């Protein structure tokens, strides 16, 4: 059950052995010991993690995190609604692409991949385009590691009475926030991110009054957010279609382990400690972060690639994998870089070992 290497990626990520072990038992999707004692407990725990305010509910959706984003966009918006998307990376751009596929009118505020969105530009769009009904933004844009200023953007959107959709895929469970206090209407995340489960489903935590308005709006049968929620509400956690039972059971275990760690605040502290140690160690080796450190998230960090003529990412990657670490290639369109995540079952001593491994990998590559 031990892993051959540590996944330093923004999900899938390295999980504990106890989370993986939870998948070794089969579950019946009709039984109360699964639906009432696992699924319904997960739904309750997620809602409590997201906000202390009443009036929120949660729904689990089969598939990738993107499937849950598409389910939300396709269920929350009527045919004559219009979406404003904040796009400063691949995942903001993906939201706009989903809207295009669903024939939902969309306008985009795009400051570029290394900049935070301009509040003035968003304000101008909201003032000048009265057709806009919804605003969508990514919390942690893992294209670069950017942490977006969601409080300011959401406050602005709410001052214009817009529905807010937050893609918190890579931040929920790892960064403290109260979505009720922020005024978020729909928040989307995934099992294999900061809760530290495995891939297989995403989830949406929403204002119940807004979710109830979604009835009959969905553009897809399998991605009908309202029908999935209604089925779970009416049948004590029963999924409409085949439930990813093993993944769900692993997630339940991951939630228990989050509580044992001390909750989101404690996990955020560990992730932040990891990230700061990573940046400090990489700087000592001569690497430069892509973003200004004021823009960093505790989730993943992008670094410029070495300019040495012998450097090749693939070789660098393989040297690190041989030493027990897997990192991510870059995803920025106009910069040669790579990314290192520090979420999952990763601790400060792992980061120390990583820095040593990177130094060795660079020596081997340049000496080759």
- Residue 15 · residue 198 · CB < 8 Å: yes
**What sign has the CA pseudo-torsion 286, 291, 296, 300?**
negative
Pairing of strands 140-141, 146-147: antiparallel
Give me 120's structure tokens: 């003035």
Going by the DSSP 8-state scheme, the letter that residue 344 receives in this structure is: S
H helices present in the chain, as ranges: 17-21, 32-34, 40-50, 65-76, 90-101, 119-128, 150-159, 179-182, 208-212, 225-234, 245-261, 263-284, 313-322, 348-367
Candidates 157, 154, 147, 203; CA nearest to 181 is 154
In this structure, how many other beta carbons lie within 10 angstroms of the beta carbon of residue 242? 8
Question: What's the rounded Cα separation, in Å, for the pair 42 and 36?
Answer: 9
Tokens 């926030």: give the residue: 177
Q: What is each CA distance from 46 to 58, 63, 189, 367, in whole angstroms?
A: 7, 18, 10, 50
Is 339 annotated as a binding-site member? Answer: yes
Tokens 């995403």: give the residue: 202
What residue numbers does the annotated binding site cover? 339
What residue numbers does the annotated binding site for substrate cover? 339
């Amino acid at each position: 059950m031990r892993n051959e290497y540590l996944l330093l990626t923004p999900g899938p990520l390295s999980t504990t052995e106890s989370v993986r072990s939870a998948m070794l038992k089969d579950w019946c999707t009709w039984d109360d010991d699964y639906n009432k004692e696992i699924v319904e407990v997960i739904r309750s725990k997620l809602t409590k993690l997201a906000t202390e305010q009443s009036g929120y509910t949660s729904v689990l959706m089969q598939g990738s995190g993107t499937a849950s984003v598409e389910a939300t966009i396709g269920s929350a918006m009527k045919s004559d609604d219009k979406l404003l998307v904040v796009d400063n990376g691949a995942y903001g751009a993906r939201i706009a692409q989903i809207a295009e596929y669903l024939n939902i009118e969309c306008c985009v505020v795009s400051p570029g991949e290394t900049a935070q969105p301009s509040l003035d530009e968003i304000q101008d769009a909201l003032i000048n385009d009265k057709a806009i009904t919804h605003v969508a933004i990514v919390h942690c844009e893992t294209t670069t590691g950017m942490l977006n200023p969601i409080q300011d953007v959401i406050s602005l959107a709410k001052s214009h009475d817009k529905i807010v959709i937050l893609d918190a895929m890579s931040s929920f469970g790892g960064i403290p926030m109260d979505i009720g206090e922020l005024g978020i209407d729909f928040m989307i995340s995934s099992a294999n991110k900061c809760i530290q489960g495995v891939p297989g489903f995403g989830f949406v935590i929403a204002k119940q009054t807004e979710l109830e308005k979604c009835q009959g709006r969905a553009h897809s049968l399998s991605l009908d957010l309202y029908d999935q929620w209604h089925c779970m509400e009416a049948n004590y956690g029963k999924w409409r279609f085949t439930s990813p039972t093993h993944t769900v059971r692993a997630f339940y275990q991951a939630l228990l382990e989050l509580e044992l760690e001390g909750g989101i605040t404690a996990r955020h502290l560990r992730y932040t400690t990891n990230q700061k140690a990573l940046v400090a160690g990489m700087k000592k080796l001569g690497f430069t972060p892509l973003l200004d450190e004021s823009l960093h998230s505790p989730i993943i960090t992008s670094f410029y690639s070495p300019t040495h003529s012998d450097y090749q990412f693939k070789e660098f990657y393989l040297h690190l994998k041989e030493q027990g670490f897997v990192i991510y290639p870059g995803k920025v369109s106009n910069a040669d870089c790579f990314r290192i995540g520090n979420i999952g079952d990763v601790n400060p001593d792992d980061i120390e070992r990583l820095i040593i491994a990177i130094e060795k990998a660079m020596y081997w590559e340049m000496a080759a």
